């Protein structure tokens, strides 16, 4: 498995989930806001699932490169964006290509959802 996720906007919260027939695995829970910059890279690697990357950048900038491990399988990635109020912004790419939006809403709550995208094996 050679997949890289890059998050450059998460106002207010991005939750990334990889799923395979019969189960799902949370990859990341990234919180941000207050105009703080986000520049987070997640390398998905093959191995025993290590749990989600959880970062809170509501009051501080977020940056760094992190590894999350998944057992071998044919996974699909989906992203969900939650807005707690005020402006919103979501930017997530997989292997250099922006995740395409399946759903967007200008209000609060779940305001962004990506089209399910197959991970490379």
Condensed to tens digits (0 to 9), the pLDDT of residues 101-118 reads: 988 888 899 999 999 999
Could you tell me the residue range of the domain that residue 62 belongs to? 3-118
pTM for this one?
Answer: 0.96
What CA–CA distance (Å, rounded) separates 2 from 71?
A: 12
Strands 76-83 and 97-98: unpaired
Condensed to tens digits (0 to 9), the pLDDT of residues 52-110 reads: 999 999 999 999 999 999 999 999 999 999 999 998 999 999 999 999 998 888 889 99
Q: Please count the other Cβ atoms lying within 10 Å of the Cβ belonging to residue 54.
A: 11
Q: Give yes or no for a contact between 62 and 13, defined as CB atoms under 8 angstroms apart.
A: no
Domain count of the chain? 1
List of residues 6+ apart from 97 with CB closer than 8 A = none
What CA–CA distance (Å, rounded) separates 17 from 49?
A: 12
């Amino acid at each position: 498995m050679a997949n890289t996720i890059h998050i450059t906007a998460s106002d207010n919260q991005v939750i990334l989930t990889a799923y395979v027939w019969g189960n799902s695995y949370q990859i990341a829970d990234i919180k941000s806001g207050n105009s703080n910059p986000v520049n987070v890279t997640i390398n998905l690697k093959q191995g025993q699932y290590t749990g989600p990357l959880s970062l809170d950048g509501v009051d501080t900038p977020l940056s760094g490169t992190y590894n999350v491990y998944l057992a071998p399988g044919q996974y699909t990635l989906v992203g969900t964006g939650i807005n707690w109020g005020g402006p919103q912004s979501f930017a997530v790419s997989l292997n250099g290509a922006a995740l395409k939006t399946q759903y967007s809403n200008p209000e609060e709550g779940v305001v962004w959802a990506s089209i399910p995208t197959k991970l490379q094996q």
